[in-house]
Chains A and B, each alone.
Chain A
Amino acid sequence: MNTPLDEPTTRVRIEVNGQPVLRDVACRKHLSDFLRDDCGLKGSHLGCEHGVCGACTVRLDGRIVRGCLVLAAQASGHRVETVESATPGLRLKALQDAFVEYNALQCGYCTPGMLMAALDLVERRPDADREQVRMWISGNYCRCTGYHAIVDAVCAVLDLQRVGAFAAEPLPQVNP
């Protein structure tokens, strides 16, 4: 990056999708810009940069965060997962497939963040019903679909999970 030389920087070491990444970044740079500019991971999108729209949702040490509200420096020493994960787990893969199957994306801009939020739901709220799915993903805006198909897709993956489709990857013990 062409970071002007007068800008304060800090060295970060972040595990991104399983790979350690070492970079000098501007102290003020947020995690989404770090992922996009310094790691070339363009899947996390910026829709508002003030923590509302959810398009930048990624996982930090297993919990979903707004990439635009976390500084890259804060993520140093931690583990970040994005939708681009080269080896998606069964649940993420199933969600990606279901989004295509149900046309739960149109322009696709919200989709990576929506998928990370949905993955969090599938792992943490395996018993969620349709209304709870709607509430859970209400932190992620979609302007194209009207949400119905997204809810359909997430519910379909929850159903798959209930019948044991992901038994090969047991859910980690997580704090709700």
Chain B
Amino acid sequence: MNHPTEVPTRRDLGTELPAVTEDQRHIGVAHPREGVRRLAQGRGQYVDDIELPRLAHVAFWRSPVAHMRIGAIDRAAAQALPGVIAVVTGAEIANLCKPWVATLAHLAGIKSAPQYPLAIERATWQGEPVVAVVAETRARAEDGVALLQVDWDELPAVLDTETALDADTPLIHPELGDNLCFERALDTGGVDEAAARADAVVFEETYHFGRHTGVTLEPRCQIADWNPGDRKLTVYHSCQAPHMMQDLYCRQFDLQEHQVRVICRDVGGSFGIKVHAYPDDFATVALSLMLGRPVKFVADRLESFVSDIHAREHRIHGRIVASKAGEILAFEIDDLTGVGPYSMFPRTSGIEGNQVVTLTGGPYKHRAYRARLQVVFQNKVPTCQYRGVGHPIACAVTEALVDGMAGRLGLDPIVFRQHNVIPDNAYPATGASGIKLEVLSHEACLREAQRLCDYDTLRAEQAALRQQGVHRGIGVAALIELTNPSAAFYGVGGARIASQDGATLRLEPSGVLTVLSGVGEQGQGAEAVFAQIAADAVGVALDRVRVITGDTDVTPYGGGTWASRGTGIGGEAVLLAGRVLRDNILAVAEAILKRDRTGLRLRRGVVIDEASGQALLDLAELGRIAYFRSDTLPASCTPELMVTRHYAQRDYPFIFTNGVQVSHVEVDVDTGFVKLLRHWAVEDCGRVINPMLVDEQMRGAIVQGIGGALFEECLYDEGGTLSNGNMADYLVPMAGEMPDIVIGHVQSPTRSSQLGAKGAGEAGTAGAPAAVMNAINDALAPFGVRVSSQPITPEKILRALGRI
């Protein structure tokens, strides 16, 4: 299945664009990440690796059913167990932690009900935490959970999104009046007129996207450590947004920032799963406040499946209208999505559906668009933002409709797309949904993808193999991805989630550079990217740069990692701070060297005379004088060798990226099995800082997208119990079934920043489900059948073929 690949090419991209720094040596270069060598030696420090004096462990008794009224809780036996420290109920926790309601002002009409760390009267999904048992070991805490006697009355569960709004469906939160969380309608006008044209061709189809979840290999975990002496809370947390969590702990527990420190060391995968505030996060903090000692919570895998956010679960009726001549005229979608019993805190569960509305049809020139969205409550695990957030759905619907139409018109899918994408010379542009697109490169990416996959050869091979009964398919998907968000994403809606981010650069006395960033590291390579930018911006060698992230006591205030913002926002702050620090260093050099700074340059850690190239002063000597011999400097010179700069993207609501993916599959029409032969992705994330890291972001994200397209689904039984909530039954992609993935780059830098970098973390997930679904349908084309429900299992393929 995997072609023996050529030796991987390590293509540096730094010289393809004008340099952003004077002596650019690292930006655009595929440097390996030296910072991860310790992880390869087993010397990381994930939350569960941290041990503290008097550390206690919590395990939760979670609702075993989808909806229940909580009766008497008998905790005597659990409390009597040696090693159990406390058994705590929801009402007791609620004395310390305020409830929350997750809404955003700019999602007009969104509603939810007050949610507590532990359920109090009712539990509303299987897995909602109800009782906490704290003990000296996790094993003992679980023993305590097993001894709890909890009475409950099972209540009717709302599970099916299609009937959630029916009059005779029970209300999950009676005080809300219905089971509707959020709805949105968008109509540009012109859809019906387009469909009524004499030359109109219409293609429509219904798409289903199963619920799935992130399965970070390191489960969610934290240690909350309340020190009653200085009234300070330290939370070691495996999360993506430390300042956001600091703010939430402050608000829910009536604390202030100087009392709350959130530390994120190594994070074992995040993907959006770890950017939300979970009930058990607050419960763990409350327990530490109650007990005055550190409390560790580490979800085990079984509770991860019923407590980590889920995502997707959309049903979309889609329609595309084109002229017989091949011009796309209109898109229309009707999206129904289920989000569990509460809108998730603090980002809300309305965003994914909202983005489906915003993004559908995104790459194309049509002007007519109509969309309807209904987001309904149900008694399943809450859903929220997971890698791609709406993009995989919008892209799969759009691209399946586009392919369906190309098929109906008898046009090649790439030719049809080339004809209909917003041309590369038409930017800035506004999409039909109203999205502002600064600069994209659909045409260039389509051309590059066509070249990269040797498209014509693939088509010829496909035709030849069909004669032999081998059914291969080639699936193409064009995509857009929103990155570098402005405050339009959350801030304007009232969420205290920073869109700006800061970086501090400090020249140490020996001439090494310390970088502190509000954007943290969960494996994407943010720290490596910041080091490369800092090294070039200041003018030092890469191995002279150290990066520190993930500590609210230490780093500048910032939003952290989400919406593919780390490099574009955090990296720009590093560049801006680095330029100022370089100037400040040269000002000190001017004083030490007693010569005008004109002609002084900082190159590779040494101040030189630009004209002659002569080395004048190395940074260790400059640092020595600046820090320890200020007596030798003129009174007018105060070295400022620590610089902080912030950056917020304010030119556009979002900076969009784009790309094209091609999937090559073989479908066994007797078994329904899909073999992934190869996958190509051409991406345009603007200026690439480290091509190897961008490649790896693409590959990992593509495989997560393939997971949703082919394997992953949270399956609920009729009573609302998750029936495959373990690692053996919930299928995630394994190495043996994944294809080699070839990445190509086009660079269209954003002009909203000096760096010109856009995000790269989610585009892979956005495009892969579309490309794979289109490839399977291309393979099935000779049979005149299509599949449109993800995950596309062998059973669904065989049903489509009428074989079962």
Contacts and interface: CB of A to CB of B under 8 A. Distances in A.
Contact of A108 (B36, B83, B696): B36
Contacts of B764: 146
Contacts of B741: 146, 148
Contacts of B4: 129-130
A39 B201 CA distance: 69
Contact of A107 (B135, B523, B703, B728): B523
Contacts of A41: 42
Contact of B32 (A53, A103, A142): A103
A26 interface: yes
A42 B42 contact: yes
Interface in A41-61: 41-50, 52-53, 55
A107 B269 contact: yes
Among A84, A106, A138, A146, the most chain B Cβ lie within 10 Å of the Cβ of A146
A162 interface: no
B1 interface: yes
A2 B136 contact: yes
A109 B271 CA distance: 14
Given A47-B218, A49-B300, A144 B40 contact: no
A6 B137 CA distance: 13
A44 B43 CA distance: 10
B448 to A, nearest CB: 19
Contacts of A169: none
Interface residues of B, number: 68
Contacts of A96: 37, 40-41
Given A2-B137, A148-B699, A142 B42 contact: no
A129 to B, nearest CB: 7
Interface in B238-295: 266-271
Interface in A3-17: 3-7
A43 B5 CA distance: 32
Nearest to B218: A109
Given A129-B4, A148-B740, A55 B217 contact: yes
B726 A48 contact: yes
Contact of A42 (B45, B81, B137): B45
Given A83-B42, A107-B218, A146 B703 contact: yes
B269 A46 contact: no
B510 interface: no
Nearest to A33: B139
A6 to B, nearest CB: 5
Contacts of B268: 45, 107-109
Interface stretch (B341-349, B411-419, B731-739): B731-739
B693 interface: yes
B40 A107 contact: no
B727 interface: yes
Contact of A131 (B1, B37, B732, B733): B1
Among A42, A96, A99, the most chain B Cβ lie within 10 Å of the Cβ of A42
Contacts of A47: 217-219, 301, 727
B137 A1 contact: yes
A63 interface: no
A67 interface: no
Interface in B1-27: 1-2, 4-5, 8
A21 interface: no
A109 B740 contact: no
B692 interface: yes
Contacts of A1: 137
Contacts of B700: 106, 143-146
B540 interface: no
Nearest to B699: A146
A144 B36 CA distance: 14
Contacts of B555: none
Interface string A80-112: 001110000000000010011111011111111
B680 to A, nearest CB: 12
A72 interface: no
B140 interface: yes
B553 interface: no
Interface string B33-57: 1101101111111101100000000
Interface string B190-207: 000000000000000000
Contacts of A125: none
A108 B136 contact: no
B39 A105 contact: yes
Interface of A: 1-7, 26, 28-29, 36, 41-50, 52-53, 55, 82-84, 96, 99-103, 105-112, 115, 129-131, 133-135, 137-152
Minimum-distance CB pairs A-B, first 5: A43-B42, A108-B39, A109-B268, A107-B523, A106-B523
29 contacts: A2-B136, A4-B136, A4-B137, A42-B42, A45-B218, A47-B727, A48-B727, A49-B301, A53-B217, A53-B301, A55-B217, A96-B40, A99-B40, A100-B33, A100-B37, A102-B8, A102-B32, A103-B32, A105-B36, A106-B269, A107-B39, A107-B269, A108-B40, A133-B735, A143-B216, A145-B699, A148-B738, A148-B741, A151-B2
Given A2-B136, A49-B301, 18 more contacts: A42-B49, A43-B43, A46-B48, A48-B726, A49-B300, A102-B8, A103-B692, A108-B266, A109-B44, A110-B217, A111-B40, A115-B40, A131-B2, A134-B736, A145-B700, A145-B703, A147-B703, A149-B699
